[in-house]
Structure 1
Amino acid sequence: MFLNEFIEFCQIYSIIGEVKGVAHVSNKKKLKEKHKLKMEENKQEASLVRKIVLIFFMSIIVIGIIAVFVGYRYIIGSIGPVDENDENVIEVTIPIGSNTSTIADVLEEAGVINSATVFTYYVRFQNESGFQAGEYHLTRSMSMEEIIDQLKEGRVFEDYAISFTIPEGLWVEDVFERVASETDLEQDELLTLARDEDYLNELIENYDFLDESILDEAIREPLEGYLFPARYDFVNEELEPEEVIEAMLDRTSSVLASLPIENMDDTFHELMTKASIIEGEAITDEERTTISGVIENRLQAGMPLQMDPTIAYAHGEHLSRTLYEHLDIESPYNTYNVTGLMPGPINNPGEASISAALSPESHNYLYFYHSPEGDIYFNENLSEHEAIVSQYRD
C-alpha cells in the first residue's frame, strides 16, 4: 500500500517536472520570438530614419538649386531691359554730386531699371565709374549696360544746343509761340502740322493715349492737353516740327505710364480734359484734389461745371476776370451753358493736375471760390457759396 502510493507520487512528480520543462522551453521560445520582433522593429525604424534624413538633405539640395536658379533669373532679368518693346523716351535727371546709390534710386523711380539694388551691385562688380550729372533720354528697352554707357558718355546740362521750358497751363498757341522764340521754327508751321489730319492720324496710331476724340470738329486744337509742360533739351541746333511735337507727346506718355491709370473709369481724353480744368482753376497743389472732387460731384449731379477758365478758352483770349457778359458766348466750351465736359482740354496740364484728376477727393462740395488774396473756400450749397462771394464783392 505504502509502496504503491510512493510510486504514484514519483510518477506525478515526474509529470510535473516534464510540464515545467515544456513550459520553460515554451517561454524561452517566446522570448526569442519577441527579441526577433524587436530587432525587426529597430531595423524598420532605422530604415525610416535614414529615408527621412535622405529626403531632408535632398530637399535642401533641391531648394538650393531652385534658389540659385531663381536668383540667377532675377539678376539676369534685372540687368536686361525693363520692357524691350517700349521705345518711349523717358527723361531722367541725375543731380550733381549723386553717388551710385542715388543714381540707382533715380533710375528705378523713372522705371528704366528693374532694381536699384542690383544696379548698385552690378556697378561695383564691373568697377564702373565716371557717371556724369545731367539730363538723359533713356528708354525701358535699354539694358543696364547700355544705361551705364549713357551715364558715362552723356552730356551735362550746358552741352545742349537748344533748351526751353514750357510752363503748366499754356494753350497750344502759347506753347508753340514759346518754342518759336527759342528755336528756328515758326509758330505757324508748328500749328499747321498740329492741325494736319493725316499727321494726327499717324499720332493716333503711335500713341495709345490719343484717339479719334481729338479729331472732333468741335475741338479748337486737336493736341490741346497733350503737349506736356516741362524742360526740353535738344542736341541738334536744327529741329523739325515733328521732333518737337513728338518729344512733348513722349513726355506725356512717360508721365501717364508712371500714374495709376490701370483702373480709371475715364478715357484718356476725359482725364486730360478734367486735368486741364484743374490746372486752370488751382493755385496750389494742395487744393487740386479737392477741386477735382467738385468736378466729379457736379458731373454726377448733372450740374453745369461753371468753370471760369473754360469761358476764356471759349472766347479765345486770356481774361483777367470773368464777367457776366462773357457768359453769353455760344460755344461747346462754355461750361455755364453746357452740361458735362467740354469737347476737350482747355490747356496743357502738368503732372499734379493729371494726378488729381485721377484721384479726386471724396467730399460733398459743389462750389468753391478764390478770394482776391488767393484763399480758396469750398461749400456744399449755393447759399453758403454766395455768402462767401458777397463778402469780397460788396
Structure 2
Amino acid sequence: MSNKNHKNYIQEKLKEKHTEAKIVRRIVFTVFVVLMLALTGIIGGGYFFIKNAIQPVNEEDTSIESVEIPIGSSTTMIGQILEDHGIIKSGKIFRYYVKFKNESGFQAGEYELSPSMKLDDIIGHLKQGRVQQDVVFQITIPEGRQLEQIAEILEKRIGVSKDEFMEKANDKSYLSSLIEKFPKVITEEILNEDIKYALEGYLFPATYPFYVANPTIEEIIEVMLQKTSEILEDDELRIAMANKEFTPHKLLTMASLIEAEATVQTDREMIASVFYNRIDVGMPLQTDPTVLYALGEHKERTLYEDLAVDSPYNTYRNQGLPPGPIANAGVSSIQAALEPADTEYYYFLATPEGEVLFNETLEGHNHDKNEHITNQDNS
C-alpha cells in the first residue's frame, strides 16, 4: 500500500471513529434528557398530587358535616374518618402532613366541618377540640404491669370486676373481633395455646382519661389497645421492626423482658444486648421474671427450685423468647428492643442497690454475684 493510500485509509478510519463517537454522544445525551424529563415528571407529578391533596375538597361546598372523632383515635384513624366524611381528599396525605408539621394534641369530640375548609383550619379545629363531656376520671397504668395487675387497678379505681375483666380479656370470640379491629397490631399469634393471657403486654402503660362514669370493659380495653396501636404504627418504629423482621407480638415480648429486668439506673439498651447476644450463640435467656410469671407469683428472690418449673415461659428450660409478653412495656423498652447496644456482654446482675453490672464471662458474673448477693445474704 502506497503512502498516499495508507494516509487516506487512516483518515477514513479516523472519520469513522469520529462519526461513531458523535453518534454515541448523541445517544447518551438523548437518554440523559429522557431520564431527566421522566424524573422531573415524577417529582412534578408527586408535588402536584400532594399539593392537590391538601387543598379543600370543594371550596364552593360550604355545607356542614357533623364528624365524630372517638376517644383514643390515632392520626391514621382521624385521617380515615375525615376522608370517609368527604372533609379531606386523602387520609394518608393527612397523616403525613400532620407528621411533617409536627402537629399533635388532637382531641376527641363532635366537630362541625366543611369540604370547603383548608387542611390547616381542620387541624386547628381538631387541636382546639370541643369534647362533648368533661373528663370524669383518669386511670394510670404504670409500666411493667401484668394483665392481672391492670385488672386489680381497674377494680380498685372504678369498681370493674377483676374476674369479669379477665374473662372478657380471654374470651376467644372477643379476641377475634380485636384481631379484625386492630390488624396491624394484634394477630392470631395471641391465640397460641401456650400463651397464658392473650392480651398480656398489649395494654399500653399510660394515663387514660374517660368521659363517662361507667365505661364498659370493652371500651376500656380498646382505648388501651388504640394507644398501643398508635405507638407501634410510628413510621420509624415500623421500619426498625421490618429491619429486625419483628412482628408486633415478638417486639412486645422482647420489650416486656427488658422492662421486667430494668431498674431506674439501668441502661435498657445494654440489657437488650445481653438477650440478643445470648440468642445469637444459642444460650437460654435465663431471665428470672419469666420464671416468676410461669409460677404466677411475685417474689423478691427467685429460688433454685423455682427454676425447674415446667412452663413454656421458663427461659431457663427453653431457649429463645417465651411464647408472649410477660407484662406491658413502655416506649424506652420498646426502643431498646429494636436498637440494642453493641456489646460483648452475656451476663448482667441487678444489685440490691439498683445498679446493674454487666459481664462478658460467667467467671466475672459469679464474682459480682458473690460480692453483691451472697455477702448481702450472709451479713
TM-score by length of 1: 0.66
Measured in 2, the distance between the counterparts of 1:306 and 1:223 equals 24
Counterpart residue number, 1:252:
228
Deviations 1:6-36 (A, max 9, x none): xxxxxxxxxxxxxxxxxxxxxxxxxxxxxxx
| 1:321 Cα deviation after fit | 1.3
Alpha-carbon spacing, 1:75–1:181, altered in 2? closer, same or farther (3 Å)? farther
Q: CA RMSD of the aligned region, Å?
A: 3.2
| 1:74 Cα deviation after fit | 4.7
TM-score by length of 2: 0.69
Measured in 2, the distance between the counterparts of 1:272 and 1:382 equals 28
Alpha-carbon spacing, 1:134–1:211, altered in 2? closer, same or farther (3 Å)? closer
Counterpart residue number, 1:239:
215
Alpha-carbon spacing, 1:378–1:137, altered in 2? closer, same or farther (3 Å)? farther
Counterpart residue number, 2:107:
136
| 1:323 Cα deviation after fit | 1.6
- Matched AA of 1:215: L
Aligned: 1:171 with 2:146: yes
Alpha-carbon spacing, 1:80–1:176, altered in 2? closer, same or farther (3 Å)? farther
Q: Does the CA-based 8 Å contact 2:257-2:326 persist in structure 1?
A: yes
Deviations 1:298-339 (A, max 9, x none): 111111111011111011011111121221211111111111
Measured in 2, the distance between the counterparts of 1:278 and 1:370 equals 13
| Structure 1 unmatched runs, 5+ | 1-62, 92-109, 120-132
Which secondary structure does the structure 1 equivalent of 2:237 belong to?
A: coil
Q: Does the CA-based 8 Å contact 2:252-2:325 persist in structure 1?
A: yes
Measured in 2, the distance between the counterparts of 1:199 and 1:247 equals 15
Q: Does the CA-based 8 Å contact 1:78-1:113 persist in structure 2?
A: no
Counterpart residue number, 2:321:
341
Q: Does the CA-based 8 Å contact 1:226-1:348 persist in structure 2?
A: yes
Aligned: 1:116 with 2:101: yes
Deviations 1:233-261 (A, max 9, x none): 11111211111101111100111112422
Aligned: 1:199 with 2:199: no
Task: Please show how residues 38-57 of structure 1 align to structure 2 within 5 Å.
Answer: none
Match of 1:366 among 323, 346, 367: 346
Which secondary structure does the structure 2 equivalent of 1:219 belong to?
A: coil
Alpha-carbon spacing, 1:111–1:159, altered in 2? closer, same or farther (3 Å)? farther
Q: Does the CA-based 8 Å contact 1:184-1:239 persist in structure 2?
A: no
Q: How many residues are paired up? A: 290
Measured in 1, the distance between the counterparts of 2:55 and 2:289 equals 48
Q: Does the CA-based 8 Å contact 1:270-1:344 persist in structure 2?
A: yes
Q: Does the CA-based 8 Å contact 1:297-1:364 persist in structure 2?
A: yes
- Matched AA of 1:136: Q
Which secondary structure does the structure 2 equivalent of 1:113 belong to?
A: helix
Match of 1:181 among 153, 156, 170: 156
| Structure 2 unmatched runs, 5+ | 1-39, 58-68, 76-94, 114-118
Measured in 1, the distance between the counterparts of 2:53 and 2:301 equals 56
Counterpart residue number, 1:328:
308
Alpha-carbon spacing, 1:201–1:381, altered in 2? closer, same or farther (3 Å)? same
Deviations 1:177-217 (A, max 9, x none): 11222224222221111101011111112222211221112
